[in-house]
Structure 1
């Protein structure tokens, strides 16, 4: 009796779902009372009903699955089989599952799309070319988070080649760029070879990605060789800036200046990103005079400094203890409408904490400056790591600014940042020095 009741209930549910699909009452299908009862068996029977009554199975599957595709049970092999078991036509089944791959990929559910794709391969169904392209683009856009994703891209490319379909230049460039950014240089070159064999010529975007890949590994000789071999495209700002930045990082200023000369001779003039690379290298070497000459050149050419420019100079001045100049550039940022970020404050705070100069009465007190920066951090909602708080607390404790140090410690706790051994030891030692053993013990407990 129980089985008969269940069978009648399921039969009624199947008819209900069929009616919903035909009339398009999808909101009813998604209601818990009906939607929660839809199983692989129900899906199978619904598709069988449509097939028996002359409806296209692929049409039925698309309309039915579109509304419930996000439900986890659809990804099980049992359910995937149920979607195609009602029809013996392999072309129809390939269409249904290919559509499901596209649906998941377009919904940014790449892992689910891959599962359906794998099921098709296991069952011998040939994915549609469009499904391969959509899935390939989806995997590339989501960043190839693991080796398996990279292997899946390779499989997709082979699948497309077997169907005489070649991805477009945008897809190839996106894939090459992603491989290059992840340090997968061999894979990037393999894609370049594949695209050229497919009759797709590399453009400057392709070359820029490959040049960047060499530069990030300090393989400047190979980067320069590739640069000289560029054909069918003209180097642009990105090309030259990437090379200039690479040579800056390896310390070849002579080559940097040569490339800048070539860049300008070709009618391209350095922008703020190019200048930032030059400034970073000069500041790293402590050549502040030359750095300021570059800054003046930017002004002469009406190139406005950005946050990176200012942060580079602020950090450099902080490292040599010239806090006046560091503050000058912080103020310049504010005047230009640029917002100081975590890096700005971190550099300034560490600069003040490391400064050993004894300020005169007319100059701002370091401790006051540190607390003022802390207030700015809090008001701006900027989060910094524990190293900044540690530096502030150690500095204040050494100068017996216990009250200020505890204020910093309080701000740290407000942000739920746990103190470490250095912080607690610094506060405890500061209290011991002024004879407050009770407070000192509290920090050591």
Structure 2
């Protein structure tokens, strides 16, 4: 097979993949059966069950079929079907319920089996997805090996290091004792802080930051997949470093193409947990930096292809701006799945190609009915509609057990960042909203 062509068009939507897809929103499977880390995710991210609703508007942008299927734990509010389907004119999938630890219902199995030219996909392709593909006679959108290997930080790091790409100072650790030894070595190299990274992790789960003179007891769950990476921590307190930034290259990988469709800044909290994204990046404007990001992203994406991965992915970077004017560019990790930046980027590039956007998670201290939020935005002239040059596009609401909205993902759109900032300011004036983690 020929290597896929690399196409770099940040700010522009890639063509959809051909065929129908049955997409399983198996978010609790992203650690491939590592129960300890999965339980940590459940404890950390509340209302996790309603995150699958974020897929509703983008399935028809990812795949061109007319009979797409989306299986989620909690169905999105009907307001979203009306908004996405009628107001925005998006092609929506059929939605089926699927609890994280339950077998697919006979109705879902029959729908997948009866859908022509159907591919099976999910946040990850694991043993359960592979088994369902065999049961329904459906082709996988990628491969189980590609999904598992493509999300492995340890394998990626050592590939980049062997290829001569810039990487963080790293010491491998097979257990907690190894972490202590790695900490001592990194302290000897001048690092006051370091971070432990499990081979598979996401959203700050599987990542432990610590003082190199006080290494932590790392949970056994972090070593389930093998040795951890222990890496020197670089931030704006590191001597010689003026500031740091974390841009991300968004990509879609198919058999034919590696398509770079957006370049974003990640919005991270002090523990490097994802809170949102903005595009184009505000952290830099240099064309040389953009070219280096895309070059390194090409190396990582080509490695993803070699692992057998197909689908959306992101290459997350660390930029260290030095006092002498130079900038160190390193890949932090690959996320080989639909990520927190996939939803806003696809929607932004569908409706305002080349424009600016910001996606933030907002906590709603006083839960309200979802329709009220839509009404508030519409009455203020903020709800995005086709043809508008700016506005707010609600992506998803996280719901309480009473199906009240406790958190929402809002996409702020505009021709440039100044217009986006104005939309954000007007939105925050409507309600008691607080920025929060993904």
Is the pair's TM-score, using the shorter chain for normalization, greater than 0.5?
no
Question: Higher helix share goes to which structure?
Answer: 1
TM-score in terms of structure 2 length? 0.18
Bigger Cα Rg:
1
Question: Higher strand share goes to which structure?
Answer: 2
TM-score in terms of structure 1 length? 0.18
Q: Which has the higher contact order (CA 8 A, sep 6+)?
A: 2
